Chains A and B, each alone.
Chain A
Amino acid sequence: MMVNQIPFKEFHLLLNQGLRVAIGPFNVCIQTTYKPLAEQLYQLYRHYRTAQNEIAEFHVRIVTERSNKNPFEKNVRFLLDGQSPFESFPQAQALAALEWGINLAIAVRVSHLLLLHSAVVEKNNHVILFPAWPGSGKTTLCTVLSYRGFRLFSDEFGLMDPQQGTFYPIPRLMPLKNESIAVIRNYLPEITIGKSIPNTQKGTVAHACPPEESIQQSTLTAKAKWIFFPKWIADSTTKIETISDSEAFMLLASNAFNYEVLGAKGFQAVAYLIRTCNCYKLVYSDFEDVMATLQRLIDET
């Protein structure tokens, strides 16, 4: 059952008890009694499948509590299995806290897969990785690509099965930050974006919905063929530059969440990626331009 097939009343009730949603290979059980968050989730999670009768890997809650600083104000707190990994947040940031919390849970717990810090999309059954650090514009680029003919895997996690060499899609809300919000609202006026949440640790954040088809196809895995290390530079023309295997290896390994935890398996997985993929550095500023360049490259190989 999809979230949008449930009336809001019932959805809200489920959230009170613990709503289970399938997000890529994981089921996440979300519990909250905070109604404004329920309303936001009802809008932004509408294309996700519920998994009420399945095992959930992550159990997260958003609870409200009185603020320590101002007794008339309420804060929200993120809990993972009843434990609180962060300080509390202002109520208005409940959705951002939930989304960060789920990312954190995935990053610290999952060690059966290699976790690359990367935007990931798919085209013609081939995965394209954009590994990059926060602030490099990968979420923005990923949002554009996923609404312009590419299938979204993730704006944050490259989940790779180290044995099979395949990637698992994990399409989650894409948290656009600061200037990117207006850029995307202008460039993709048709897409659903949540309310702007100002004054978070990362500035203003607004969450873009993944395309419905990407969520529906999120059980279809694929192997990687291209790796682009992206950098957004204002007013630059699109430039791609091949890089050596050794440099690509270092860039990829050092940007994984759990490369070291996986030990030899991590090494072999990254080596396999470098052997089987074409690796480039990518500098861009214009979306049309970068998409044309990517398309050309895809058609050539």
Chain B
Amino acid sequence: MKLELPRHNQLLLQAITTPSCLVQYTDIEWELLIRQARRVKLLGRLTLLLKEHHLWDTVPPRVANQLISGFVQAEKLQQLCSWELNRILWVLEDFDTHIIALKGIAYKLIDLPYAKGRLSVDLDLLVREADLADIESLLMIKGWKHRPISAYDEHYYRSWSHEIPPLVHTERETEVDIHHALIPVTTQLKIDTALLFDTAIPAAGHPKIKLLSPVDMVIHCAINLFQNNEIANDLRDLLDLHDLMTHFSQQDEDFWIQLTDRANQLKISHILFYGLYFSQLIFSTSIPEKTVTRLNSKPGKLKHRIMHRLVPLALFPQHPDHSLRSASWARRLLYLRSHLIRMPLYILLPHLIYKTIRRYL
């Protein structure tokens, strides 16, 4: 099956995969590119790509200023996340445990190529379930607070989610998301967090911080995209997946075998399947042919076809001036899908009704 994208999305994809073609972009195309890149948090990435390919001098000044602005903001948010982690480690100094840094901050700690331009708004951490209550109260003693949320949302987080309500320090603004699992509790799939800690690797220079093993990091990224989230405007996250797989497979030739083995062991191979498929389809990730065949379970043909149609329409940003109806529908359907696979119906229906009513009050 081939990838079919609307013209404006092609402008964005080409810019990321083949930056050399940017020299031919007209002003109108540049403008449309920047507006889309901003929407899917890729201004920093474009800045790095243009500099890497020695094309910076060919960028129209009005575009260059916007790219720099985006890059400076990404840099600042990364600095804030690093500082927040530093403060959390200070609180946990006397607490004998490890925490796992997830997503953006983890990509920075392993020096993933292009991580410097990644816009990470929140700090995401994974802790052992047994440590959760202690860590939460230690942080609250030292000035972190939960944002005021409704009793319903509180219940949602505490009973059904894989994270506690976000914490923010009173003197700062960075949101800290503390997870005790990678998948919401209501999902049928279960991944034992202890398994992730068993294979986690130490982060250089930070004795208390661990990082998911390379294969788990990839699996977590795929789970977030295709299990936990609604996919709309998540192109950046698929690009993370592409970056991670490209990076790790260059470092370790057994990476692909380890990845599929781990996915089979954790019983999430059908989720990894989508990760492999869409990363290859959209970013042409070089994945050995045999990798997919090693997966124990794959989505059925019909499901796969439907996802092939819907996912790119949702991942890529809408045209900023005229939304495509097909893309709006794709987003709606994937939103429903994300809920259906996340919650059993007896929780899901009241939840959606509640959310709909609240929107109109």
Q: Which residues of A contact B (CB under 8 A)?
A: 18, 27, 31, 53-57, 59, 68, 81-82, 109-112, 260-263
Interface string of B339-359 (1 = CB under 8 A from A): 000000000000000000000
What residue of chain A has the Cβ atom nearest to residue B76's Cβ?
A261
The reply to whether B27 and A109 form a contact with Cβ atoms under 8 Å apart is no
- Chosen A-B contacts, 16 in total, with CB atoms closer than 8 Å, are A18-B321, A54-B27, A54-B62, A55-B63, A56-B31, A57-B65, A59-B320, A81-B35, A81-B39, A109-B69, A110-B65, A110-B69, A111-B68, A111-B70, A112-B72, A260-B76
A54–B27 CA distance with the chains assembled, in angstroms: 7
The reply to whether A111 and B320 form a contact with Cβ atoms under 8 Å apart is no
- Knowing that A110-B69, A263-B75 are A-B contacts, what are 6 other residue pairs whose CB atoms are under 8 Å apart, sorted by A's residue number? A82-B318, A82-B320, A82-B323, A111-B72, A112-B65, A261-B72
A18 CB to nearest B CB, Å: 8
A10–B318 CA distance with the chains assembled, in angstroms: 29
9 pairs of A and B residues whose beta carbons are closest in the complex: A111-B69, A111-B72, A112-B68, A55-B62, A112-B65, A261-B76, A81-B320, A112-B69, A55-B31
Contacts of A81 in B (CB 8 A): 35, 38-39, 320
The reply to whether A263 and B31 form a contact with Cβ atoms under 8 Å apart is no
The reply to whether A57 and B62 form a contact with Cβ atoms under 8 Å apart is yes
B66 at the interface (CB under 8 A from A): yes
B60 at the interface (CB under 8 A from A): yes
A59–B79 CA distance with the chains assembled, in angstroms: 29
Most interface-central of A31, A56, A82, A260 (chain B CB within 10 A): A82
B252 CB to nearest A CB, Å: 36
B107 at the interface (CB under 8 A from A): no
A68–B30 CA distance with the chains assembled, in angstroms: 38
B73 at the interface (CB under 8 A from A): yes
A220–B66 CA distance with the chains assembled, in angstroms: 21
The reply to whether A261 and B39 form a contact with Cβ atoms under 8 Å apart is no
B119 CB to nearest A CB, Å: 12
Interface string of B111-135 (1 = CB under 8 A from A): 0000000000000000000000000
Could you tell me how many residues of chain B have their Cβ less than 8 Å away from some Cβ of chain A?
24
Contacts of A68 in B (CB 8 A): 360
Contacts of A262 in B (CB 8 A): 72
Interface of A (DSSP majority class): loop
Within 8 A of A (CB), among B35-76: 35, 38-39, 60, 62-63, 65-66, 68-70, 72-73, 75-76
What residue of chain A has the Cβ atom nearest to residue B30's Cβ?
A55
What residue of chain B has the Cβ atom nearest to residue A53's Cβ?
B27
Most interface-central of B31, B60, B70, B360 (chain A CB within 10 A): B31
A110–B318 CA distance with the chains assembled, in angstroms: 23
The reply to whether B60 and A55 form a contact with Cβ atoms under 8 Å apart is yes
Contacts of A57 in B (CB 8 A): 62, 65-66
A81-B39, A111-B68 are contacts. A261–B73 as well, Cβ < 8 Å?
A: yes
Contacts of A111 in B (CB 8 A): 68-70, 72-73, 76
The reply to whether B79 and A263 form a contact with Cβ atoms under 8 Å apart is yes
Contacts of A56 in B (CB 8 A): 31
Contacts of A260 in B (CB 8 A): 76
A261–B119 CA distance with the chains assembled, in angstroms: 13
A248 CB to nearest B CB, Å: 24
What residue of chain B has the Cβ atom nearest to residue A29's Cβ?
B31
A255–B27 CA distance with the chains assembled, in angstroms: 35
Contacts of B60 in A (CB 8 A): 55
A52–B227 CA distance with the chains assembled, in angstroms: 44
Contacts of B65 in A (CB 8 A): 57, 110, 112
A190–B319 CA distance with the chains assembled, in angstroms: 45
Contacts of B79 in A (CB 8 A): 263
B211 CB to nearest A CB, Å: 26
B142 CB to nearest A CB, Å: 22
Contacts of B30 in A (CB 8 A): 55
A215–B323 CA distance with the chains assembled, in angstroms: 35
A260–B62 CA distance with the chains assembled, in angstroms: 23
A59–B62 CA distance with the chains assembled, in angstroms: 14
B79 CB to nearest A CB, Å: 7
A18–B35 CA distance with the chains assembled, in angstroms: 15
B132 CB to nearest A CB, Å: 32
A269–B39 CA distance with the chains assembled, in angstroms: 30
Contacts of A59 in B (CB 8 A): 35, 320-321
Contacts of A112 in B (CB 8 A): 65-66, 68-69, 72
A166 CB to nearest B CB, Å: 15
A112–B75 CA distance with the chains assembled, in angstroms: 13
B20 CB to nearest A CB, Å: 21
A4–B296 CA distance with the chains assembled, in angstroms: 70
A111-B69, A261-B72, A262-B72 are contacts. A82–B321 as well, Cβ < 8 Å?
A: yes
Contacts of A110 in B (CB 8 A): 65, 69
Contacts of A261 in B (CB 8 A): 72-73, 76
State which of A27, A82, A109, A263 has its C-beta within 8 Å of the C-beta of B62: A27
